[in-house]
């Protein structure tokens, strides 16, 4: 993967990367869940999320900056996407945002982690990703 395909920034919608000056079309949100919790995720219903680090892969066809700014806001009046429900929970915080010119499904498939919520963020997925949210699990060797 070309290093220019993966751009890092914090959750700052004013940053150059988040303004989509790079021509990126997809993004990864690195989300910290400070505690295990049960969250109602739209039509998916009540789901259990263990505490830890999660990566959500998404895309925005027209305006990546607006999409990222929306995700970074805690005061969403309308919860539209699965990720809105997760990010609306007080235990959830975005630690990092990365943008890419790769397809969101390619990013999901390259992300090593476990699917905790089948179907999360992948209602319109044609690549059979299973979910566009993965929990990153690190195993410590003895």
Q: Within the chain, which residues score under 70 in pLDDT?
A: 1-22
Q: What is the structure's pLDDT at 68?
A: 94
For residue 27, the cross-strand partners are 58, 99
Tell me whether residue 36 is in a domain: yes
Range(s) of the domain holding residue 109:
3-136
In angstroms, the CA 51 to CA 70 distance is 23
Tell me whether residue 118 is in a domain: yes
Q: What is the structure's pLDDT at 11?
A: 60
Its pTM stands at 0.83
Tell me whether residue 141 is in a domain: no
DSSP assignments along 108-132, one per residue: HHH---B-SSTTTT-TT-SS--S-S
Q: What is the structure's pLDDT at 125?
A: 85
Which is nearest to 122 in space by CA: 103, 100, 98, 102? 103
């Amino acid at each position: 993967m070309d290093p220019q395909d993966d751009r890092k920034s914090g959750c700052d919608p004013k940053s150059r990367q988040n303004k989509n000056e790079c021509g990126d079309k997809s993004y990864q949100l690195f989300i910290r869940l400070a505690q295990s919790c049960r969250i109602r995720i739209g039509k998916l219903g009540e789901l259990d999320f263990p505490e830890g680090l999660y990566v959500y892969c998404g895309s925005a066809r027209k305006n990546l900056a607006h999409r990222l700014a929306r995700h970074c806001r805690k005061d969403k009046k309308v919860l539209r996407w699965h990720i809105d429900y997760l990010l609306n929970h007080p235990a959830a915080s975005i630690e990092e945002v990365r943008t890419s010119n790769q397809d969101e499904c390619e990013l999901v498939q390259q992300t090593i982690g476990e699917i905790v919520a089948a179907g999360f963020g992948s209602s319109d997925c044609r690549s059979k990703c299973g979910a566009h949210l993965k929990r990153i699990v690190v195993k410590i060797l003895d």
